[in-house]
Amino acid sequence: MFTSSKLPLKRTTGPEKTSPQRSTNESWFDRSRKVIAGGVDSPVRSFSAVGGTPFTVVRGSGAYLFDVEGNRYVDFIQSYGAVLLGHAHPVVTEAIKRAAADGTTYGAPTTGEVLLAEAICGRVAGCDQVRLVSSGTEAAMSAVRLARGYTGRNRIVKFAGCYHGHSDALLAGGGSGVATLGLAGSAGVPPGAVADTLVVPYNEVPDLDETVAAVIVEPVAANMNLVAPADGFLDGVRRACDAVGALLIFDEVITGFRLAAGGASATFEVRPDLWCFGKVIGGGLPVGALGGRAQILAYLAPDGPVYQAGTLSGNPLATAAGLAVLSNVDDAAYAQLTARAARFADRLTTSITDGGLAASVISIGPLVGLFVAEPGDGLGHEPGHDPEVDERTVRLPRNYDEARAIGENGVYRAFFHALLERGVALPPGPYEVMFPGLAHTDDDLEVAIDAAGEAATQVAGGLFKPR
């Protein structure tokens, strides 16, 4: 029999063997930095926005993460929203094990991809068909290509502060406060790649003309912290698109199957032409999907002229995990999650403000956005309100400029570390949202609320020194 011990494996040494010291977050990150660019496979994980050394995870379970030092954290990152049921939920791990036993990829149609596609189309009204891909980036990139191929137009309109993955054309304005034509969002993006990307402010209905192929929007902006669509905004964008024959793309990589079974299009009753999905629909495995009206999806190869492909697209492990999640979440679960997030946001606000910081914590469905500031730093409400209350709240941002005024105030950094030391992991940056999920119990939320009060007291007292 063929066993691993007989393989001529190169001996790898564990951390204990390379050095006599304990396995620490520091030692693992040092090691990582030698062989992985910047020590991470996605920049936000590096803690560069908050300072300090990231913890290196060995295990997740439900609402918790465990690091190499044996610390346990109540985790509000939840893989940036990819694990709705929490870490290592048995229905998901069992589905993955069963699928893996039958082979991990074939390069041929599978039953699993059909079942997941049916589950998606069955829940999202107006989404007749999907094409499964391996990430949200791919979904958005392919949706843009499809919109251009379908309309025969080149221009794409996106909103500053909305993130649609890291493809060249869509990085513009994803990390820059300047709303302007064709500003590349990264070195290495040639001007030509963004020449047809127009970046406009969120929550303002843009003026469009007949050169516009599509408007792409996060229906709830969840990559500049949490910004709600203003009344009439999504509807206005829908009408502006219709007036010039442009397609409307909802990037529901975060909101899809998290706000509600039908996502943001159901919640706000605005129907786009194309959807981008990801995160939740993979149950923690790499998946994305673009979807929309059959008439538009028909433009994709092989039936149509718009090329799109992927060796691992519709991967059987990922589709099994995604299907396990979607089949185990019903309307009652979304309602419960939404109610719990609203209570959590209220209690968190009170706890932090009682501790002496200014704060506003909001929830939109199950998504939670935390804004912290120093009292009296001018980020509070407009004059005319109760001054004592004004001092202790943070005015909610409506767009990227306003989100940045809060995000760059420096308070989040200290607050983040004060909470981490108390075993509560917030996302390591002020532009990410919190993802309380179905695994978080009332007790977990209570722990976070109490820790947030202590952390606020510590930060407000100027006592805190980040490691």
Ligand X SMILES: *Cc1c(COP(=O)(O)O)cnc(C)c1O
Active-site hit among 73, 150, 163, 202: 163
By CB under 6 A, is residue 223 in contact with ligand X? Answer: yes
Among 47, 64, 163, 431, contact with ligand X (rule: CB under 6 A): 163
Closer of 82 and 296 to ligand X (Cβ): 82
Query: Whose CB is nearest to ligand X?
Result: 136
Q: How many residues bind ligand X (CB under 6 A)?
A: 14
Separation CA 327–CA 373 (nearest Å) = 41
Residues 366-425, interacting with ligand X (CB under 6 A): none
Tokens read off for 155:
């221009």
136 is an interface residue for ligand X by CB under 6 A: yes
Distance in angstroms (rounded) separating the CA atoms of residues 213 and 445? 44
Helix runs in 230-359, H state only: 233-244, 263-268, 294-297, 316-327, 331-355
d(CA 192, CA 395): 38
251 is annotated as an active-site residue: yes
Minimum distance from residue 23 beta carbon to ligand X (Å): 29
Residue 187 tokens read as: 């070195």
219 is a site residue for ligand X (CB under 6 A): no
Q: Which of 67, 113, 218, 402 binds ligand X (CB under 6 A)?
A: 218
* Interface with ligand X (CB under 6 A), residue from 253, 325, 403, 424: 253
Nearer to ligand X, 28 or 431 (CB): 431
Q: Is 278 in the site for ligand X (CB under 6 A)?
A: yes
Q: Does 313 bind ligand X (CB under 6 A)?
A: no
Q: Is residue 135 at the binding interface for ligand X, with CB under 6 A as the rule?
A: yes
The helix/strand/coil state of 94 is: helix
- The reply to whether 277 sits near ligand X by the rule CB under 6 A is no
Q: Which residue has 């979807």 as its token pair?
A: 291
| Contact status: 256 vs ligand X (CB under 6 A) | no
Closest distance of CB 129 from ligand X, Å: 20
Residues composing the chain: 467
Catalytic hit among 251, 412, 431, 444: 251
Q: How is residue 41 written in tokens? A: 């496979």
Closest CA to 454 of 357, 374, 322: 357
Q: Which is nearer to ligand X, 158 or 413 (CB)?
A: 158
* Residue where the block lists tokens 């939320």: 445
User: Is 465 one of the catalytic residues?
Assistant: no
| Eight-class DSSP state of 440 | -
In a 13 Å sphere around the CA of 324, the CA atoms on its Cβ side amount to 26
Query: Smaller CB distance to ligand X: residue 196 or 251?
Result: 251
Identify how many contiguous H helices and E strands the chain contains and give both numbers.
17, 13
State which H helix or E strand residue 132 sits in: strand 129-133
Alpha helices (runs of H) in 104-261, residue ranges in sequence order: 111-123, 136-151, 168-171, 191-194, 233-244
- By beta-carbon proximity to ligand X, the closer residue of 223 and 308 is 223
Contact (CB, 8 A) for 183 and 211: no
- Asked if residue 87 binds ligand X (CB under 6 A), the reply is no
158 is catalytic: no
Phi, psi of 424 (to 5 degrees): -125, 120
Give the active site residue among 279, 334, 431, 444: 279
- The one among 46, 78, 137, 319 contacting ligand X by CB under 6 A: 137
| Catalytically active residues, by annotation | 163, 251, 279
The residues binding ligand X (CB under 6 A) are: 135-137, 140, 163-165, 218, 223, 251, 253-254, 278, 288
